[in-house]
């Protein structure tokens, strides 16, 4: 129909001027020499004043990395990454880590203000959210630390944790994602620069949402952050990460590792709103987002829940997973992945059922517009001992226009006859009837698409912490602006 032709034209015309986080902060950086080598790793470790065991671990990972090859099984195509052309360490020049926000470079604070991240503690949503902000390779500020300390909660940068809580880091770092895990994770082990560390002691319900904001600023830098969250017996924490980057012509690499450990009856809720720069309409300049996220439900009746809203990046390669070791443990994965223009996303989850009566739920909503490709790739694996394991998977794809693609690749392996696994998948398009109905009620095309897509994603959006749900809803609207004519 004519309207479809218009839609397609509109999509083709869509530029990237809508990415409002594309500015660059003019701040002096201290960089490691370009490229990847043992010297660079030693440089990073020395800069961070790390203990010897940490350096050894990095070097061990690097040795292993040299034997590995970049994986090519994902349904994504991109120009190969030249690892020798990346700065692995870029830090805003500051003498020492600031003790309070007053000592943080005002230019940095302004950057976060522009991003809508209130670092000034009194502004932080009336005490609901504590924020750790990572700028290029270093963590610049962690708010509300004193208040959290009263509860025994440790929330700091991973670099500080390595120095101040080595026993915890040693025990858990690499225990969920080992240094030899996969190409990008191993690279991360060798060169990770900063990230967040969270420790919730036994029986404590973390009194506020914890949040990290990641920002890639410097040119040709990779961001290799490392996050480690440990929830002791009977504790609870809700954690949110958000990401943005300036608009550049060169693709930038982001290879993060996130490890979660939940002990007996502990619960970790991990939410991501990912809005890295997606590149222009050909995909040039966008972030390559190759991320390894995994949680271990170590204790009985523990629970890990991943919620992600992925709207940015040129290429996304990400499978937040749960290892359900403890009996009666629960893993959840709620995902909204939006791809527009030339964006590509290959994302999903792995649920590994080991303990008895373990339960997992996967709800994935993929939205594809422009010439984008969106793939759900997921594994549900039930081991012989996982008596009574249950999984429910629902994968819905929504297409806008006729040049985009949606793919669903579920892998199911069950080695226990008592397991119950359900998989449902649907593919639909935003119909012209729906658009006309909305516009006949006075909604603009953009509001119409936004409301229809938000309706489509509702089951996932309701899992987001209240404070961020509104922001995520708006982001969905912005990401799809101009996708329908």
Torsion of CA 169, 170, 173, 175, to 10 degrees: -140
Please choose, out of 13-21, 70-78, 79-87, 447-455, the segment that lies near another protein by the rule CB under 8 A: 447-455
Please choose, out of 54-62, 221-229, 353-361, 442-450, the segment that lies near another protein by the rule CB under 8 A: 442-450
**Complex with another protein: residue 284 or 451, whichever CB lies closer:** 451
Q: Which own/partner contact pairs does 455-460 have at CB distance under 8 Å and 24+ positions apart?
A: 456/365, 456/367, 456/396, 456/398, 457/336, 457/365, 457/367, 459/334, 459/363, 459/365, 459/394, 460/307, 460/309, 460/334, 460/335, 460/336, 460/363, 460/365
Shortest reach from residue 474's CB to another protein, in Å: 14
Structure token digits, residue 382? 């039930």
Among 9, 70, 459, 467, binds another protein (CB under 8 A): 459
**Complex with another protein: residue 189 or 448, whichever CB lies closer:** 448
Q: With binding defined as CB under 8 A, does residue 451 bind another protein? A: yes
Q: With binding defined as CB under 8 A, does residue 458 bind another protein? A: yes
**Complex with another protein: residue 327 or 463, whichever CB lies closer:** 463
Among 233, 445, 471, 481, binds another protein (CB under 8 A): 445
**Complex with another protein: residue 282 or 426, whichever CB lies closer:** 426
Q: With binding defined as CB under 8 A, does residue 9 bind another protein? A: no
CA atoms within 13 A on the CB side of 99: 0
Q: With binding defined as CB under 8 A, does residue 402 bind another protein? A: no
Q: With binding defined as CB under 8 A, does residue 424 bind another protein? A: no
Q: With binding defined as CB under 8 A, does residue 437 bind another protein? A: yes
Q: What does DSSP assign to residue 194?
A: B
**Complex with another protein: residue 124 or 435, whichever CB lies closer:** 435
**Complex with another protein: residue 96 or 433, whichever CB lies closer:** 433
Report d(CA 132, CA 180) in Å as an integer. Answer: 28
Residue listed under structure tokens 């319900």: 205
Q: Which contiguous run of DSSP H or E holds residue 469?
A: helix 466-479
Q: With binding defined as CB under 8 A, does residue 466 bind another protein? A: no
Shortest reach from residue 454's CB to another protein, in Å: 7
Q: Are 265 and 301 in contact (CB under 8 A)?
A: yes
Q: What are the distances in angstroms from CA 213 to CA 21, 111, 138?
A: 13, 12, 11
Q: With binding defined as CB under 8 A, does residue 433 bind another protein? A: yes
**Complex with another protein: residue 208 or 461, whichever CB lies closer:** 461
Q: With binding defined as CB under 8 A, does residue 436 bind another protein? A: yes
Q: With binding defined as CB under 8 A, does residue 438 bind another protein? A: yes
Q: With binding defined as CB under 8 A, does residue 440 bind another protein? A: yes
Q: With binding defined as CB under 8 A, does residue 443 bind another protein? A: yes
Residue 103: how many other CB atoms lie within 10 Å? 12
Please choose, out of 42-50, 130-138, 155-163, 432-440, the segment that lies near another protein by the rule CB under 8 A: 432-440
Shortest reach from residue 432's CB to another protein, in Å: 7
SS3 of residue 241 by DSSP: strand
* Gap between the terminal Cα atoms of the chain: 13
Shortest reach from residue 307's CB to another protein, in Å: 16
Please choose, out of 166-174, 266-274, 298-306, 453-461, the segment that lies near another protein by the rule CB under 8 A: 453-461
**Complex with another protein: residue 10 or 180, whichever CB lies closer:** 10
Name, in order, each residue with C-beta under 8 angstroms of 115's C-beta and a sequence gap of 6 or more: 21, 213, 215, 244
Name, in order, each residue with C-beta under 8 angstroms of 377's C-beta and a sequence gap of 6 or more: 74, 75, 319, 346, 347, 348, 409, 410, 411
Range 404-423, binding another protein (CB under 8 A): none
Structure token digits, residue 154? 């440790």
Q: Which chain residues interact with another protein by CB under 8 A?
A: 1-3, 6, 431-434, 436-445, 447, 451-452, 454-459
């Amino acid at each position: 129909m004519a309207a479809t032709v218009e839609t397609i034209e509109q999509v083709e015309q869509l530029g990237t001027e809508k990415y409002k986080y594309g500015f660059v902060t003019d701040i002096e950086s201290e960089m490691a020499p370009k490229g990847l080598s043992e010297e660079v790793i030693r440089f990073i470790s020395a800069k961070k004043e790390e203990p010897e065991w940490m350096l050894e671990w990095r070097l061990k990972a690097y040795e292993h990395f040299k034997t590995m090859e970049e994986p090519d099984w994902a349904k994504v195509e991109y120009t190969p990454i030249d690892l020798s052309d990346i700065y692995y360490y870029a830090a805003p020049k500051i003498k020492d880590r600031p003790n309070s926000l007053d000592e943080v470079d005002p230019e940095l604070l302004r950057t976060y203000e522009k991003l809508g991240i209130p670092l000034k503690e009194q502004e932080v949503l009336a005490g609901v959210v504590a924020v750790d902000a990572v700028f290029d390779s270093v963590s610049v500020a962690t708010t509300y630390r004193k208040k959290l300390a009263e509860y025994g909660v440790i929330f700091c940068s991973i670099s500080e944790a390595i120095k101040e809580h080595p026993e915890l880091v040693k025990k858990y770092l690499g225990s969920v994602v080992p240094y030899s895990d996969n190409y990008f994770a191993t690279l991360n082990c060798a060169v990770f620069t900063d990230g967040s560390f969270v420790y919730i002691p036994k029986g404590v319900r973390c009194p506020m949402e914890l949040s990290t904001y990641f920002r890639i600023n410097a040119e040709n830098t990779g961001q290799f952050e490392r996050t480690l969250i440990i929830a002791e017996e009977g504790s609870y924490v809700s954690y949110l990460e958000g990401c943005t980057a300036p608009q550049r012509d060169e693709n930038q690499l982001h290879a993060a590792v996130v490890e979660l450990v939940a002990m007996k009856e502990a619960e970790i809720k991990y939410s991501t709103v990912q809005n890295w720069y997606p590149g222009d309409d050909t995909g040039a300049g966008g972030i390559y987002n190759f991320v390894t996220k995994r949680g271990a439900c170590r204790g009985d009746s523990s629970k890990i829940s991943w919620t992600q809203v992925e709207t940015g990046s040129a290429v996304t390669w990400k499978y937040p997973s749960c290892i359900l070791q403890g009996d009666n443990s629960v893993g959840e994965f709620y995902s909204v992945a939006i791809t527009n223009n030339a964006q590509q996303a290959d994302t999903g989850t792995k649920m590994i059922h080991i303990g008895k009566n373990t339960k997992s739920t996967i709800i994935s909503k993929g939205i594809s517009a422009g010439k984008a490709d969106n793939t759900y790739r997921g594994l549900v694996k039930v081991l012989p001992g996982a008596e009574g394991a249950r999984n429910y998977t629902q994968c819905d794809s929504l297409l806008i226009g006729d040049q985009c693609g949606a793919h669903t690749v579920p892998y199911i392996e069950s080695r226990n006859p008592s397991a119950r696994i359900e998989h449902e998948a649907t593919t639909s398009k935003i119909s012209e009837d729906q658009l006309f109905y909305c516009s006949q009620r006075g909604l603009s095309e953009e509001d119409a698409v936004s409301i229809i897509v938000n309706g489509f994603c509702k089951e996932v959006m309701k899992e987001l912490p209240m404070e961020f749900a509104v922001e995520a809803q708006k982001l969905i609207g912005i990401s799809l602006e101009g996708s329908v004519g």
